[in-house]
Amino acid sequence: MKKLKMKKVGVSSLLAGLVLVLLAGDVLAHGERAQLASMRMRTVHWFDTKVEPLNVKVGDVVTVTGKLVTSEWWPQQLASIEDTVYLNIGVPGPTFLRLHSEVNGVPMMRSTAFPLGKVYEYKTVMRARIAGRYHVHPILNVKDSGSLVDKGTWLEVAESDSTAPFTNEVTTLLGDTIDLETYGLGAVYTWHLIWLAIGLAYILYWLLRKELFIPRFLRIRHLGQDRANEIITKKDFVAGGLFFTLTLATILGGYLWAENKYPITIPLQTGKVEVTPIEVPTGDLEVVVDSASYALAGRSLSMRLKVTNHGDSPLRISEFLTANIRFLNPKVTESEIYPGEEMVAKEGLTVSVNVIEPGKTVEVELVASDALWEQYRMTGMINDPDSRFAGLVFYYDDNGERFYQEVGGSILPTFF
């Protein structure tokens, strides 16, 4: 009876496991929602991210461009981007080849450092390698902080029309053109096979004998440790000498062969590069946060701002950007939404004063409200160790020119 029960439990567990495996979907994103809300709001503000084109074939080139601002409200408990950062791209492994990447025109093969409160323009050029549907994210890997991920854009990669295998050819400084997909594999396979053969020969020499573990154990116990070496025969000694010599000779031979085949080699290269922040036109709006609150039930962030227009053109607040979510003011139509762009609340921003006239200081209430707060787990702000927020306020002048200013400060939750 007990056995039958156990059998039933076993079969049920197996079936449950099978169902789970069959139901499991593909992993399609990079867990950006799992990051702390404050980490997403107060580290890097990504904007104008464009992935072009969105439908390609294997072998085609894809370009990812955009801008980012390093937040002046960077959390103190997080290692700063001012130390070491690397521009990366979030794709599922090497489904793309990275051909080129740059920040403010500086090639980004290596790591760099970004001061806070500056703006950077980045560009990554890739070649599609494996067919599939991918969520492409620009990423900054910050040393000791982890990955800071921009929102993703879906990209379709179809199989190439050509049936030829994918190649990745480069020309070395010695003038040879090589295919990195298969480069050097002949020597890798050959030398590994040689070593496997020698290793197996040595092991088989010892294992293929009449007396192995138990008989040898009994003999050693009988002889005692002082005389145990007697079970090593002269033949074993000679074989050991031969294997020792053969191994040393093969190592030396392999080394000399490689030195002869590749006479010019260099060590692995590393180092940091310096990137100068770009100058962007500073707008005439001065924004000071008086207070900010977050309504847990209402999925909205409200800010009371004191706004002064120091210029001579009327200004209109068009957008609030935080944690990669764009809250657009529907009354300002200049804001552009890029093809495939996600995390945009088209009517998510309410501004109490539509036009800030030149020379005026007004109090403005900004309400950023949308289900995206919930969808992107921003409600987790209540669990943050440092309840502060930051974001970019975008505004336009009469000429349609866009400016931005970073705002931030303490934020209080409202529960009812």
Partner 1 sequence: MSETPTSELTEVEVKSRLLDMKSLDNPKAMKLYRRFDGIIILVLFMFLILGIQIHFTLTAGDWDYWIDWRDRRWWPLVAPFSLLLFIGPFAYGFWARVRLPIAATVITLLLCAVSWLSRYLNFYEFTHFPMSFVFPSTYIGLGILLDCALLITRSLLASALIGGGLFGALVWPLNWSFMAASKVPVELNGTLLSVADLMGYQYIRTTTPEYLRIIEESTLRTFGGSVTPLTAVFSALCGMVIYGIFLWVGSRINRLDIYTKRIV
Judged by CB under 8 A, the chain residues 220 through 239 that form the site for partner 1 are: 220-222, 224-225, 228-229, 231-232, 236-237
Q: Considering the complex, state which of residue 76 and residue 225 has its C-beta at the smaller distance from partner 1.
A: 225
Pick the stretch among 6-14, 43-51, 167-175, 316-324 that binds partner 1 (CB under 8 A).
167-175
How many residues at the interface with partner 1, by CB under 8 A?
99
Counted residue by residue, the chain has a size of 416
Pick the stretch among 135-143, 156-164, 332-340, 388-396 that binds partner 1 (CB under 8 A).
135-143
Q: Considering the complex, state which of residue 105 and residue 359 has its C-beta at the smaller distance from partner 1.
A: 105
Identify residues 27-46 at the interface with partner 1 (CB under 8 A). Answer: 30
Q: How far is the CB of 401 from partner 1 (least distance, A)?
A: 33
Strands 153-158 and 132-142: antiparallel
Q: In the sheet where 285-295 sits, what is the strand order?
A: 349-351, 361-369, 300-309, 285-295, 412-414
Q: How far is the CB of 201 from partner 1 (least distance, A)?
A: 9
**Residues 182, 354, 375, 383: which binds partner 1 (CB under 8 A)?**
182
State the DSSP string of 294-345: EETTTTEEEEEEEEEE-SSS-BEEEEEEETTEEEE-TT-TT----TT--SEE
Residue 360 CB partners (closer than 8 Å, separation 6+)? 308, 309
**Residues 20, 23, 266, 412: which binds partner 1 (CB under 8 A)?**
266
Long-range contacts of 236-243 (CB under 8 A, 24+ apart): 239/205, 243/198, 243/201, 243/202, 243/205
Helical ranges in 1-67 per DSSP H: 2-23, 37-42
Pick the stretch among 39-47, 240-248, 354-362, 405-413 that binds partner 1 (CB under 8 A).
240-248
Our measurement of the distance from residue 240's CA atom to the centroid of its chain's CA atoms, rounded to an integer in Å, reads: 50
Query: Which residue from 131, 119, 122, 136 is spatially nearest to 51, judged by alpha carbons?
Result: 136
3-state secondary structure of 19: helix
**Residues 198, 295, 353, 362: which binds partner 1 (CB under 8 A)?**
198
Q: Considering the complex, state which of residue 76 and residue 171 has its C-beta at the smaller distance from partner 1.
A: 171
**Residues 53, 262, 334, 375: which binds partner 1 (CB under 8 A)?**
262
Owner of token pair 């050693």: 220
Q: Considering the complex, state which of residue 61 and residue 220 has its C-beta at the smaller distance from partner 1.
A: 220
Q: In the sheet where 388-396 sits, what is the strand order?
A: 344-345, 325-328, 316-322, 388-396, 402-410
Q: How far is the CB of 121 from partner 1 (least distance, A)?
A: 16
Instruction: Report d(CA 239, CA 65) in Å as an integer.
Output: 64
Q: How far is the CB of 273 from partner 1 (least distance, A)?
A: 9
Identify residues 297-356 at the interface with partner 1 (CB under 8 A). Answer: none
133: contact with partner 1 by CB under 8 A = no
**Residues 11, 14, 258, 288: which binds partner 1 (CB under 8 A)?**
258
Helical ranges in 324-399 per DSSP H: 372-375
What secondary structure letter does DSSP report for 130?
A: S
What mask of x and - would describe binding to partner 1 in positions 362 to 381, judged by CB under 8 A? Answer: --------------------
7: contact with partner 1 by CB under 8 A = no
Instruction: Report d(CA 71, CA 84) in Å as an integer.
Output: 15
Q: Considering the complex, state which of residue 165 and residue 385 has its C-beta at the smaller distance from partner 1.
A: 165
Please give the structure tokens belonging to residue 341: 């762009």
**Residues 17, 94, 298, 339: which binds partner 1 (CB under 8 A)?**
94
Is the alpha carbon torsion for 146, 150, 151, 156 positive or negative?
negative
401: contact with partner 1 by CB under 8 A = no
Identify residues 95-124 at the interface with partner 1 (CB under 8 A). Answer: 95-100, 107, 109-111
Pick the stretch among 33-41, 267-275, 298-306, 345-353 that binds partner 1 (CB under 8 A).
267-275
170: contact with partner 1 by CB under 8 A = yes
Instruction: Report d(CA 85, CA 144) in Å as an integer.
Output: 10
Owner of token pair 């104008």: 48
Pick the stretch among 38-46, 245-253, 344-352, 354-362 that binds partner 1 (CB under 8 A).
245-253
